[in-house]
A and B are shown apart, each in its own frame.
Chain A
């Protein structure tokens, strides 16, 4: 009984962390079709911003939930103005440019913070469930990602800004004809995407040992999740994160963490073979 509960929590946590890792990329890649290979480095910077802010005496939750997304969002804004905006619609060129950016960010972080592992401890203590100890911070991550999904949905569905953004992504020429500047909309969307990446890096920072190259660990999973999710932003994100999270956790518990990772990759291959357009290319059509 206790073990069942622990397994359920761990599985929910795995799904939630996949959602967190992929949300920023889903906005930047899913909506704007910009292949951001520096996504992992945006997360890494979110982590470093949090650690630096906490070191300066800021409350850890403020640092994670406010400062890190803002700072990384602003970095994203600068990147968009200087690099990305010249490359819209040129997939391969953006890949090359963002890969270069990721190397620059790793280099800068190494220069500033050094190449040694840093980190902060989790702000929430563990507690007992029957005979098991469980990491209280897992619940925080689950809550953050639920709020995040609802938030993205509310903005895209319920606000005028969301409507304009969705419209501009589908037909930027029509949006322009109606008097909205696609340039501005892209800029704002990229800001939001970067901020989401920064948030993810920040929220995960207390669980990991952070080094400038940490971003590399996230990027593959993020791309797999977003691509397997397909065209619908939220339905795709949630459905693919759920499938991958559940499968990898089941194999991790049943056999070992190595098989958990293997199962995730095998599932990705099968999914893409069966549904080349992603899960939402076949199911949940027309959803957001």
Chain B
């Protein structure tokens, strides 16, 4: 056998690193966890931290002795921000790898691309991202914030800080349209009035005429569920026109991918929002989480709302398996439906048995010097939008994404 220098060095390095890892003796073969995320392409700002969250959560579970005495092993696929790859890798996870659970999907389109595959193959599926609400399917668990949870908290807070006349600027696809309808509802419920609503295709990056139009309507408050890089221009142009000090501004999306770190303090200061997580949350859980994240990824601090939701989802699943005492899908679903809670960096997260969505803490925040400072925490908000249309305990065979009438 011949051995060259490079192979020898490589082997030695591998041995050394292996020696550093904590060794826990695991009884049987590993539990297979499928992960399907956009780690490259346009959505990697969301997907990369989510992938890190997966690895962190699984490392924590394994360090604590695994689940049911078995190690958890990750089967990860990078979908490259390509929806077609979701179908392909979804099939691969269920048929070839035969995983016990799948966590992943970012855009709603990606979730819908694999949801039916998971359902047919009876593979438990977790979608851990804030989204437009309404999915009703017993095989899926969702623990992102839905528009009602977020908007219900944000609208009264923002209106109290400004006034009754509201102008809505939203992204022109299902998320923006649905969220705009919820905003209208809660503005009315709080005694306010919507003086204008405009929708923008995702590639619009020039908001000059819109800013003039908004001024013609003279609202007290602008709420902006705008999405993506082109729409970020709005917040910049709004500040450049000197509107920041004249009309208050709130958003349901800004900061989800850490956008507040891109805007300068002059552009971002004072923008109000409401999420399940902020890096500035002052809780022992969050401090410990940030420390473990930094230790695992060389000091990185790129965690954001969606990555933390994902982290919550992984631990919720682990708790479900522990309670069930098996990884059998039906047993785990029943265990989760008992209303399991975990406490994570974003606060307490409880499974809502009726909808398989999450009851969670919503934190009201204000941007200040590129940080999202938490002003107030509204504990344990119900996913009231999805609850209005979905009842899986009465109707366990439901398999629809409802468009919620408001």
Chain A interfacial positions (CB closer than 8 Å to B)? 3, 6-7, 10, 13-14, 17, 115-122, 124-128, 131-138, 206-211, 213-214, 216-217, 249, 252-253, 256-258, 260-261
Q: Which residues of B, 146-180, contact A by the 8 Å Cβ criterion?
A: 172
Asked whether A116 and B45 contact (CB < 8 A) given A121-B236, A134-B241, A135-B241, the answer is yes
Cross-chain contact A133 with B215 (CB below 8 angstroms): yes
Cross-chain contact B262 with A116 (CB below 8 angstroms): yes
Compute how far the CA of A127 lies from the CA of B243 in the bound complex, rounded to whole angstroms. Answer: 9
In the complex formed, the residue of B with least CB distance to A132 is B215
Compute how far the CA of A131 lies from the CA of B29 in the bound complex, rounded to whole angstroms. Answer: 71
Q: List 9 A-B contacts (CB under 8 A).
A: A115-B42, A115-B44, A122-B239, A133-B241, A207-B236, A211-B229, A213-B42, A257-B198, A258-B172
Measured CB to CB, the closest approach of chain B to A259, in angstroms, equals 11
Number of B interface residues, CB 8 Å?
Answer: 44
B12 at the interface (CB under 8 A from A): no
Measured CB to CB, the closest approach of chain A to B286, in angstroms, equals 22
Asked whether A126 and B241 contact (CB < 8 A) given A121-B267, A208-B233, A217-B230, the answer is yes
Known: A125-B242, A135-B241, A207-B205. 13 other contacts (CB 8 A): A117-B262, A119-B262, A122-B236, A133-B242, A135-B211, A207-B240, A209-B231, A211-B229, A213-B42, A252-B210, A253-B213, A257-B210, A258-B200
Compute how far the CA of A258 lies from the CA of B216 in the bound complex, rounded to whole angstroms. Answer: 19
Consensus secondary structure, chain A interface: mixed
Compute how far the CA of A6 lies from the CA of B216 in the bound complex, rounded to whole angstroms. Answer: 11
A residues near B204, Cβ cutoff 8 Å: 257, 261
Measured CB to CB, the closest approach of chain A to B28, in angstroms, equals 40
Contacts across chains A and B counted by CB atoms under 8 Å: 130
Cross-chain contact A10 with B257 (CB below 8 angstroms): no
Q: Which residues of B, 208-253, contact A by the 8 Å Cβ criterion?
A: 208-213, 215-216, 218, 229-233, 236-237, 239-243, 246
Compute how far the CA of A207 lies from the CA of B231 in the bound complex, rounded to whole angstroms. Answer: 11
B residues near A137, Cβ cutoff 8 Å: 240
B264 at the interface (CB under 8 A from A): yes
A residues near B209, Cβ cutoff 8 Å: 7, 10, 14, 249, 252-253, 257, 260
Cross-chain contact B229 with A209 (CB below 8 angstroms): yes
B residues near A3, Cβ cutoff 8 Å: 212, 216
B residues near A14, Cβ cutoff 8 Å: 206, 208-209
Cross-chain contact B201 with A258 (CB below 8 angstroms): yes
Measured CB to CB, the closest approach of chain A to B201, in angstroms, equals 6
Measured CB to CB, the closest approach of chain A to B5, in angstroms, equals 30
Measured CB to CB, the closest approach of chain B to A138, in angstroms, equals 6
B259 at the interface (CB under 8 A from A): yes
Asked whether A211 and B199 contact (CB < 8 A) given A135-B237, A249-B209, the answer is no
Cross-chain contact B200 with A208 (CB below 8 angstroms): no
Measured CB to CB, the closest approach of chain A to B378, in angstroms, equals 29
B266 at the interface (CB under 8 A from A): yes
Cross-chain contact B216 with A126 (CB below 8 angstroms): no
Cross-chain contact B257 with A116 (CB below 8 angstroms): yes
Measured CB to CB, the closest approach of chain B to A155, in angstroms, equals 29
A residues near B242, Cβ cutoff 8 Å: 125-128, 133, 135
B residues near A209, Cβ cutoff 8 Å: 205, 229-233, 236, 259, 262
Measured CB to CB, the closest approach of chain B to A36, in angstroms, equals 20
Compute how far the CA of A10 lies from the CA of B215 in the bound complex, rounded to whole angstroms. Answer: 14
Which listed residue (B203, B218, B233, B266) contacts A207, Cβ 8 A?
B233
Compute how far the CA of A133 lies from the CA of B215 in the bound complex, rounded to whole angstroms. Answer: 8
Cross-chain contact A136 with B240 (CB below 8 angstroms): yes
